[in-house]
Chains A and B, each alone.
Chain A
């Protein structure tokens, strides 16, 4: 029922919103939505445990910059006097690893040092953004098409390629959405996430390893953010340090609009994806954010 209401909302706002009228190509809309949806999927797990991840926007930025650096500068190894260029797939793997590591740091600070999620991930928001600026001293990495002589072409496929006429980011959204829905609703891990959000103490007394589940949840969020960063860098074929600024707000908005309670324990992944559609339609910056980074 709630979903039907949301879909009706989307349709109404699509018609009313001037942004949508100008973006008459539906696939472009869907690409905007898919970026927000990827972040919202990761954020959903965090919020279901009654946590919050404010660092996703910065992780998007850092991952984009790391990918940009590796493609345009390569990895210089001064002790051997060489610069290593990786192929696009390895770049993507390293980018995802960055997200996983930052998520792990978030999770460790929250579970081991008992720092409130809001504060821990706010710290990461600044730290990751700072690192993103450091990779290029604030400059943009242009031309991420790669160089055939260095063997690192193919990166743009992630953001601009398509399969069966459907853009890659949409495939990714569908893939991530299906896997995440499955994990959330059908696996013990998913059940544990809901239980922790519903009553952490009861979950603990039932033998759930609360800290381990929480750690994983921030890793998932970091991973989704990294994927988003790679998609954006690939779409633009450029990486700039400001990429993903304030995206965390859109993601959180999508999750909450999709019916997930900020107090944890209630909500679905599908809801968050629909929420991503709604928030992209409702919030002007939701529709605009990619224009900003495209400039």
Chain B
């Protein structure tokens, strides 16, 4: 029954959580030495299936066949012993331990007597792994001090440190920028060459077409289709996933921006060890304008948004909203003044895991839902229901604990909380992280609607397409400095990438080549090696057309 090239097969897997059917009689094949893509909307059951394969959950019904033999994993440890590794969607690192300690957790390199941990060896080994991922992180750094994208790299390094024959990657690139995605793809190709079978989950469809060999689609807990990637295209994926075709994901609506809403002048943020994290940043956002902030990992984009929210008292510079100088020092004052931040790292900064969906949504605007001194459940629920509908948040009920939601739906809850404060300027840090293509389209449509209602929107994104097609204006940040500003019509992928890597090193010919190699236009759209014969994604051609002149700002 099991074809020889299938290393692992899940048969008739059903998983029921309380009243929720997360998986319904799902079959899933993992082909040996291939990249097996799993795709589906938020809450379709992808992560649940992966947890079952990795031994973190047990299926209500169904079985797993490893090399044709039925296996049952009672714990992730047993699955690991069988050679199955997993990078969880919600990162699974210990913030109080160092990078090296996290990487070697549970398989510490021991010293001569087999009792003490050989730290030096671990650090050297960790450094080697990080080099392979081209991330110059200090192995002794505490993971809690790292940005989300860097943590994701550590999580990948952790999986690489283990000897695996099947590696599950549940949205490994959700916090990575284009350049790091390229590095990961190189590593994936190396792993494939070593015979490792990969299971790959992502909502970035172009990415899937580039790296995937086989694709399996889940919809509403059912397996809908399986196909070799060479036979399909983006439209097929979207149709299978959602059940209809999405006319346009990256919506943009023509608007004439109004008056200046947010003005930032000479913003400076000192780096703890000396130097500057943000160096003399000045810009404005106008009413009805969507501005994107693009840059590489560690460019200071998140810090910039945090400064605007008053989270860095050590920052200097001045802020105005609608001509009013902001003096408030605390987040609550900034919220009252009309700013709100949707943070990047939903686990660490967004969600309160002990509260329900509804309680998480109203958390930043409790004052609006009072009757007398008391929180009015009725008012709360009415507002929450409205937003859940507007954003399509899939949850059994508003009272469900937030942890029972799928990753993408948790993300929407954080966005909903920001919306409920009725801001004048909304700051979104990677708002589409982990949400499916339908939800992405919804979110962009919502951003457009808010902008036409006169809001100013400043959003951080690492996805070039998103940046180029949704924003009216793009600011590029590199090493804490604004290195480029482009109007929508002027922006091109090369110009953005060049501006984002400006000031990294003195621009020698060599580094310029390297940047070019990381640019998706170069290595993506027309790479015959890993892009098998297939219909070109509509996105690629669209972005091709948009390449015009540029105006880097030095």
A residues with CB within 8 A of B: 186-188, 191-192, 194-195, 197-199, 201-209, 264-266
Q: Are A202 and B366 in contact (CB under 8 A)?
A: no
Question: Given the complex, which residues of A lie within 8 Å of B309, measured CB to CB?
Answer: 205
A205 x B341 contact (CB < 8 A): yes
Closest A residue to B348 by beta carbon equals: A201
| B508 contacts partner chain A, Cβ-Cβ < 8 Å | no
Q: How many residues of B contact A (CB 8 A)?
A: 29
Q: Which residues from A are CB-within-8-Å of B353?
A: 198-199, 265
Q: Which chain A residues border B359 with CB–CB below 8 Å?
A: 191, 194-195
Residues of B within 8 A of A206 (CB): 331, 363-364, 417
Q: A198-B353, A202-B349 are in contact. List 14 more A-B contacts (CB 8 A).
A: A186-B375, A192-B366, A195-B355, A197-B354, A198-B352, A201-B348, A203-B363, A204-B311, A205-B331, A205-B341, A205-B350, A207-B332, A207-B335, A209-B330
27 A–B contact pairs at CB < 8 A?
Answer: A186-B375, A187-B373, A187-B375, A188-B375, A191-B375, A194-B352, A195-B359, A195-B363, A197-B354, A199-B348, A199-B349, A202-B348, A202-B350, A202-B351, A202-B352, A202-B363, A203-B352, A203-B363, A205-B343, A205-B349, A206-B363, A206-B364, A207-B331, A207-B364, A208-B331, A209-B330, A265-B353
Q: Taking A197-B354, A202-B352, A265-B352 as contacts, is the C-beta distance between A187 and B363 under 8 angstroms? A: no
| A209 in contact with B355 given A186-B375, A203-B363 (CB within 8 Å) | no
Instruction: Give min CB distance, B348 to chain A, whole Å.
Output: 6
Chain B residue numbers with a CB within 8 Å of A198 are 352-355
Instruction: Give Cα distance in the complex from A76 to B366, angstroms.
Output: 49
CA distance A264 to B332 in the complex (A): 22
Bitwise interface map of B from 323 to 364 toward A, beta carbon under 8 Å scored 1, else 0: 000000011101110000101000011111111000100011
Name which residue of chain A comes closest to B418, CB basis: A206
Pairwise interchain contact A209-B332, C-beta atoms closer than 8 A: yes
With both beta carbons as reference points, the residue of chain B lying nearest to A188 in the complex is identified as B366
Q: Does B266 touch A at the CB level, under 8 Å? A: no
B349 touches A194 (CB 8 A): no
**A212–chain B nearest beta-carbon distance, Å:** 9
Q: Closest residue of chain A to B355, judged by CB?
A: A198
Nearest CB in chain A to that of B375: its residue: A186
Asked if B374 is at the interface (CB within 8 A of a chain A CB), the reply is: yes
Q: Is the CB of B355 within 8 A of A194?
A: yes
Residues of B within 8 Å of A207, CB to CB, are 330-332, 334-336, 364, 421
Complex: chain A residue closest to B417, CB-CB: A206
Complex Cα–Cα for A186 and B417 (A): 19
Q: How far is the CA of A198 from the CA of B330 in the complex (A)?
A: 20
In the bound complex, residues from chain A placing their C-beta under 8 Å from that of B348 are 199, 201-202
Docked pose: A192 CA to B355 CA in angstroms: 11
CB-based nearest B residue for A265: B354
The 8 closest A-B pairs by CB, nearest first: A265-B354, A198-B354, A207-B332, A198-B352, A206-B364, A188-B366, A207-B335, A206-B363
Q: How far is the CA of A206 from the CA of B368 in the complex (A)?
A: 14
Interface assignment of B370: CB less than 8 Å from any CB of chain A: yes
Complex CA gap A202/B370 in Å reads 21
B-chain residues with CB within 8 Å of residue A192 when the two chains form the complex: 366
Distance between Cα atoms of A264 and B334 in the complex (Å): 27
Which of A203, A206, A209 has the most C-beta atoms of chain B within 10 angstroms of its own C-beta? Answer: A206
By a CB distance below 8 angstroms, the chain A residues around B370 are 188
Query: How far does the alpha carbon of A188 sit from the alpha carbon of B341 in the complex, in Å?
Result: 21
B147 within 8 Å of A by Cβ? no
Q: How far is the CA of A191 from the CA of B341 in the complex (A)?
A: 20
Residue of A nearest to B374 (CB): A186
Q: Which residues of A contact B421 (CB under 8 A)?
A: 207
Answer whether residue B145 sits at the interface, using C-beta atoms and an 8 A cutoff: no
The answer to whether the Cβ of B367 comes within 8 Å of any Cβ in the partner chain is yes
In the complex, which residue of chain B has the Cβ closest to the Cβ of A192?
A: B366
User: Of all chain A residues, which has the CB nearest B421?
Assistant: A207
Contacting pair A194 B350 (CB below 8 A): no
Task: Kindly name the residue among B354, B366, B374 whose own CB sees the greatest number of chain A CB atoms within 10 A.
Answer: B354
List of B residues within 8 angstroms of A186 by Cβ: 374-375
A182 to chain B, nearest CB (A): 8
**Inside 8 A of A203's CB, which chain B residues have their CB?**
352, 363
Complex contact A204–B331 (CB within 8 A): yes
**Chain B: CB-nearest residue to A200:** B352
Residues of A within 8 A of B366 (CB): 188, 191-192
A186-B374, A191-B363 given; A208·B332 CB < 8 A: yes
B367 — nearest CB in chain A belongs to which residue? A188
Q: Which residues of B contact A187 (CB under 8 A)?
A: 373-375
Query: In the bound complex, what is the Cα–Cα distance between A264 and B353 (angstroms)?
Result: 11
Task: Assess whether A199 is in contact with B331, with CB atoms less than 8 Å apart.
Answer: no
User: Closest chain B residue to A202 by CB distance?
Assistant: B352
Q: CA–CA, A148 to B466, complex, Å?
A: 82
How many Å lie between the Cα of A192 and that of B375 in the bound state? 12
In Å, the complex CA distance between A264 and B373 comes to 24
Can you name the residue of chain B whose Cβ is closest to the Cβ of A195?
A: B352
Q: Which of B334, B341, B352, B374 contacts A199 (CB 8 A)?
A: B352
